[in-house]
Structure 1
């Protein structure tokens, strides 16, 4: 009769556990090696950008801040004319920033002959020109571009997208390595929820890294998942998919106050010929909300079409900017929003309201001649996915619950930066001379079906990441394939 050898079974289990641990550690190392410098950039720039409402008025106080006066403010049309007179020769007005704060100047954005844009600031009480500021080169624009693309254009967008995807691997492997288990690691001991400060050297850094990492894991996961829909490659494709599947904003905007997924049927006696002409024009028109010169638009409406109106005779009168502001106020949009000005005789005024509360988001397209609302897009018109992303965006940017939201975002961001730095210190203390210092590959191949399945799913959902995982796997086999013992 066969009697199982418990010692052999325990030894096999211990070997399998050690092999799994080394595999996870190895992947955590490679993910961290790539993500660590980019994570620091993301943390610093993200913190600065979420504090934009406080930073910009301090940096550009001479242009953005005025003394509040009891005198009435000049009309928007008058202020626009003053700004136009102070703009460079050949500049074309594109956007008006609308606000009611009595201490803030009036801001209008102009497109310059060079193709760049410039903000012109005017005292709303006297009409005096306060100065100009390049849209592309102002500090917060540079911070945002650094955050999203490292100032490297499309290449930088792809790198930052990859950094977000590989952060998911870093979080997953980090939690698995931290997870208490076995005879020597329980939920009650130090090193799980609280670092053991009595330790010294690399062990102290390891405890700080592991415990700190688990506390910041949820925040890091949220930042990645809420940021990826805005990424330049995967995010754009995801937005197109969500829009076409009506999980984002339903395709097509028809009618004055509501949004429909298709154009309503119109009989010939009701002006069907004109509606069909408008429908044909709408389908052929390529201008999207994301193409407008707006500082920020809700994610859900980015790929929606901007309607056009039948062109009028040259010199036909437009409704005034003040009328559009009054119309927006009548629709409940009263403060801190942007109006994209008509670009041509067939263009429209577009009111874009991107507030802290996603439920108040609003997009209005207004006929420049009649002042009629051509479309009115509200939060309730979004698909479920777009509604979730709207909330995620507001929280991600530190806007949803005010200053407290900014503080929480800054704390998480800087905490993640500290995790990157502590990981670097651990690697520096452990690395051999003139070698990469990757954790040794285990002897044998552990099953780890759940882990392999998870990586496969990530590679399918994020194809660019899937390609880089193959590159890492092949490089690991070719260049860093030696096994050996190393401490953890």
Structure 2
């Protein structure tokens, strides 16, 4: 067997096993991704009465009275965020109880309560939960999802290599049999969507467990390529409405003339705080237009955070990357303190400010959704045709894996590729270490077994 054939077989064997093990997870992630792609369209229909409806009460009240009414009506829950949406959308309160459970409460133009919904059961949050953590959650599951994304990139790269080496684009004489047809469809479609699919995967990795935190660390440690240098603390709450680039920034502190600046979690004297009505006036004077979100302070030293983001995950809230801004207002006086805008991001922050809405399918409207949908459907077809190709050659009661290739010079290029991908995607690299340890253990056990047999003979 020549070196080219050995090299091809190495890719084929790893491509086969990787696809076999992660295909179910990739199907789940792709289907949930398609669901999330159209969450705004679905939610506009599903929650039409909450998003656009009105109550029969004609009396207009202040938004502060609306907050009080909501907290009285939903006992045990406090308003922690206000989302002021654009166009015909109603304003939304996010209400949280002591256990962290959340409700979304909607108010109409008169600031009267229309109704509420459980945050976890909304269509967008269900799709997001499945897509990011298989609806189970936890560190292990998050790592598993990220690992599947990393191996999908290997599948695409190895698939393109085999397609080009296998000359699938070359016209064949005669009629193709069933296996050849499935293989050709699998190879050609996979090659065509390889680049857009890799872009989709990489633009989703900023939200991942390991690589996402690594990207944040790089962005924060190197302000010239990341985001403005601010003192950092780990995130203390799940604030979806804050832009990706400033999500882990430490917010400035409010100056309470009556306080001694102690950090007492979620113990705020609301009588000392500026009213939301006055705060919104300050927001308007700061030329922050709708839509925007107001995140409440969590302690007596915190501030109001008012933000516009291109990747909020909230129907009616996303804006153009150029409009992204995170502003801070004193919770007692309402005075504007500081802001971080898109123009202040480094190249890395700007890249992902564009990349994430591209991944979510709303960067440039309907064409973005259609392109993402077509790529996802083609990817599902690639998985299907790959599975059919395997079944066409599979022998009954056997896995029918590609032949194992002896270690030789042909492995050098393959190992270089794996190391390169392992450096770019650390979790992929860790999985390779695990595979190497398993292979080494199997090799040692086989050697020991062979030695014992020889000794008995």
Three-state SS of the structure 2 residue aligned to 1:388 is helix
Matches within 5 A, 1:67-82: 75-82=62-69
Q: Secondary structure at the residue paired with 2:353?
A: helix
Structure 2 residue 351 is matched with structure 1 residue 351: no
* Whole-angstrom CA distance in 1 between matches of 2:183 and 2:208: 32
User: Is 1:459–1:466's contact at 8 Å kept on the other side of the alignment?
Assistant: yes
Matched, 1:397 2:342: no
Contact 1:111 1:117 in 2 (8 A): yes
Q: By how many angstroms is 1:340 displaced? A: 0.4
Residue deviations 1:19-43, cap 9 Å, x none? 1111111111122123311211111
Structure 1 stretches lacking a partner, 5+ long: 1-13, 253-282, 483-488
Matched, 1:244 2:230: no
Q: CA deviation at 1:144?
A: 0.5
SS at 1:212's partner residue?
Answer: helix
Q: How many residues align?
A: 423
State the shift of 1:53 in Å.
Answer: 1.1
Post-superposition Cα deviations, 1:119-172, rounded to whole Å, max 9, x if no partner, equal: 1122223x4432211112323212101111112321111001111111121111
Q: Match for residue 334 of structure 1? A: 289
How much has 1:398 moved relative to structure 2? 0.8
2:396 aligns to what? Answer: 433
Q: Which moved more, 1:327-336 or 1:109-118?
A: 327-336
User: Mean alpha-carbon deviation: is it higher for 340-349 or for 15-24?
Assistant: 340-349
In structure 2, what is the Cα distance between the partners aligned to 1:116 and 1:342?
A: 18
Q: CA RMSD in A?
A: 2.8
1:367 matched to which residue of 2?
Answer: 330
Structure 2: 5+ residue stretches without partners = 259-268, 311-318, 447-457
TM-score (norm 2): 0.84
CA distance in 2 between partners of 1:30 and 1:50 (Å): 29
Q: Distance in 2 between matches of 1:43 and 1:299?
A: 22
User: Conserved in 2, the CA contact under 8 Å of 1:249 and 1:300?
Assistant: yes
Matching of residue 66 in structure 1 with residue 53 in structure 2: yes
Q: 1:109-258 alignment to 2 at 5 Å?
A: 109-125=94-110, 127-152=111-136, 153-179=138-164, 185=167, 189-190=170-171, 199-246=176-223, 247-252=225-230
Aligned to 2:264: none
Distance 1:55 1:199 in 2: 43
SS state at 2:67 partner: helix
- Matching residue of 2:80: 94
**Contact 1:26–1:438 (8 Å) recurs in 2:** yes
CA-CA distance at 1:474 after TM superposition: 5.3
| Alpha-carbon shift at residue 92 of structure 1 (Å) | 1.2
Mean CA deviation greater in 236-245 or 141-150: 236-245
Whole-Å Cα distance in 2 between the matches of residues 237 and 425 of structure 1? 38
